[in-house]
Amino acid sequence: MDTEAPQFDPLTYTQIDDLTVKECFERLKLVTNKTTYKDIAIWLGKTQAEYNNWRRTGKLPWPDIIRALLKEGISLDWFCAPGQQLSKPQYSYSIGDYTKASVREHEQWQRLNFLNAHRRVVPLMKKYGLEGSRKAEAFLLDCYLLSKDNFLNKEQAVELIARALAMQPPIPSEKSE
């Protein structure tokens, strides 16, 4: 009489809710080319003790597993439902609608950034007597927006500010009465 436990086949389908820690780690072995559960725990950024806790409680660290799989470019469909033909969800909007919405959101974000930058630049222009200089305003706005997005290093920022401050504002014409 053979008392040996049946061998686990990681490629057979198992409902994700029924996936045991051992089965999950066997699948992860296939993905990672690791040979031990400890190595897989380390690959997930965890310790052997945490793996032991997962095994004891039967709970898997899904956020860590999903993050690691996506980082490696591994399909979650393949990992969670091997051998299953999965369908893509049908969306009620077209790609054009999605693009339009994304463009609208981006334009709104740009407007808010510009208004915030302008709100911060205007007091500086008044302080240094540059209210009438469109060039100085453009330089200061560029400096603010570029430094906010980390496209501008400190040296470039100082140069733009120096240029803006060195400009002579236009002489306001006297209004005839």
Place 24 in a pLDDT band, splitting at 50, 70 and 90. confident
Stretch 93-106: mean pLDDT, rounded?
A: 66
| 160 and 114 assigned to the same domain | yes
| 117 and 158 assigned to the same domain | yes
The verdict on residue 90 lying in a domain is no
d(CA 125, CA 116): 15
The verdict on residue 96 lying in a domain is no
d(CA 74, CA 71): 8
Q: Are 21 and 37 in contact (CB under 8 A)?
A: no
pLDDT computed for residue 92 by the predictor: 61
The verdict on residue 8 lying in a domain is no
On the CB side of 11, CA atoms within 13 Å amount to 2
The verdict on residue 176 lying in a domain is no
The verdict on residue 154 lying in a domain is yes
pLDDT computed for residue 6 by the predictor: 56
Q: What does pTM read for this prediction? A: 0.42
| 23 and 72 assigned to the same domain | yes
d(CA 94, CA 102): 12
Nearest to 27 by CA among 11, 47, 38: 11
d(CA 66, CA 107): 32
d(CA 89, CA 77): 13
Nearest to 28 by CA among 49, 51, 58, 5: 51
Count the neighbouring beta carbons within 10 Å of the beta carbon of residue 101: 11
The verdict on residue 88 lying in a domain is no
Q: What is the pLDDT of residues 122-160, one digit of tens each?
A: 887 788 777 777 877 887 787 777 776 666 676 677 677
> Which residue range forms the structural domain that includes residue 61?
16-80
What is the separation, in whole angstroms, between the first and last Cα of the chain?
Answer: 115
Q: Considering its fold, how many domains does the chain have in total?
A: 2
d(CA 83, CA 88): 16
The verdict on residue 177 lying in a domain is no
The verdict on residue 174 lying in a domain is no
Q: Are 101 and 125 in contact (CB under 8 A)?
A: no
Cα–Cα–Cα angle for 89, 92, 94, rounded to 5 degrees: 100
Q: Are 105 and 64 in contact (CB under 8 A)?
A: no
